[in-house]
Amino acid sequence: MIGKHEWSVTNRQPSLKGRVALVTGGNSGLGFEVACGLATRGARLLLPVRSAARGEAALAALQARCPGAEAELLTLNLASLDSIAACAAEVATHTRSLDFLVNNAGVMALARRQETADGFEMQFGTNHLGHFALTTRLRPLLEAASGGGTVVTVASLAACKGAIHFDDLQSRRRYSPFGAYQQSKLSNLLFARELARRAGENGWNIHSRAAHPGWSSTSIIANGPASSLPGAVGKAEQVIGTAILRVMGQTAARGAEPLLYAALSPAARDGDYYGPQGTAERRGPPGPAKVPPAAQKISTAARLWDVSERLTGVAW
């Protein structure tokens, strides 16, 4: 019997031979580890990336870690609705069905407010609206999967402190780096749960779960809070933040385990939330996570869904 590390990246069970998975942000950090975990189990990977050079480097690293891994690079910028539409169309030329979609890519706590190509606040636009639009456009391929495609949307412990500011979703009146991040991650959790609810009520052949990695040591600090600060200051913040995550958190590989658990465990249920089981859900083996009260309100989730359809111009 497989022990507590059943959902480790290096485990080869269950076999995913013949299954197709798409992981956003698969070129680094959590996404790369999730991609490795799926490839090790035999899944064929579609890896959408913004940078061709980084994508090629990630593909080489993936194949070095998982010899024989079958993976293809696609182009995707989640901060552009046109890019999302083009990527979804390209996915349809690579496969007739999609077994797994891991909505993982994201940006964190940008020091200064920025906007996507479509005028959305960058964190809300990329982390939530980008994945909402991508999932919607990939719906036919997900529903074509045997048994239904599984969507895992990556939230964060930050969702616990988040609120949806419907009167200022784009943070135009007031921008807080971490406030905008918390809103975007709460939106991820609300979306995952609302997708599961609507799929169940309408008979959509789709499974939807949410997961968070606890405190995992990845490049998200360097790409977020430290990215917009002056050289020496940004470097110092990056070093300090990364050190805290390493001491109090866990590796990216361990952080990927709740995501793999949500996607693959027979115990995982649609609409539920998974994360590390240690103190304050910062680290430890995967299992059920606490759903914050703000993510339990169906009225909020339904309103966010309707607003997201209007903003992105895509509908279910």
CA-wise closest residue to 271 among 295, 255, 294: 295
Active site residue 274: no
Of the candidates 175, 181, 273, 274, the residue annotated as catalytic is: 181
CA atoms within 13 Å, Cβ hemisphere of 125? 20
Cβ-proximal residues to 314 (8 Å cutoff; 6+ apart), any chain: 132, 133, 136, 137
Can you give the chain as a three-state secondary structure string?
Answer: CCCCCCCCCCCCCCCCCCCEEEECCCCCHHHHHHHHHHHHCCCEEEEEECCHHHHHHHHHHHHHHCCCCCEEEEECCCCCHHHHHHHHHHHHHHCCCCCEEEECCCCCCCCCCCECCCCCEHHHHHHHHHHHHHHHHCHHHHHCCCCCEEEEEECCHHHHHCCCCCCCCCCCCCCCHHHHHHHHHHHHHHHHHHHHHHHHHHCCCEEEEEECCCCEECCHHHHCCCCCCCHHHHHHHHHHHHHHHHHHCEEHHHHCHHHHHHHHCCCCCCCCEEEECCHHHCCCCEEECCCCHHHCCHHHHHHHHHHHHHHHCCCC
Distance separating alpha carbons of residues 99 and 152, to the nearest angstrom? 11
Catalytic residue list: 181
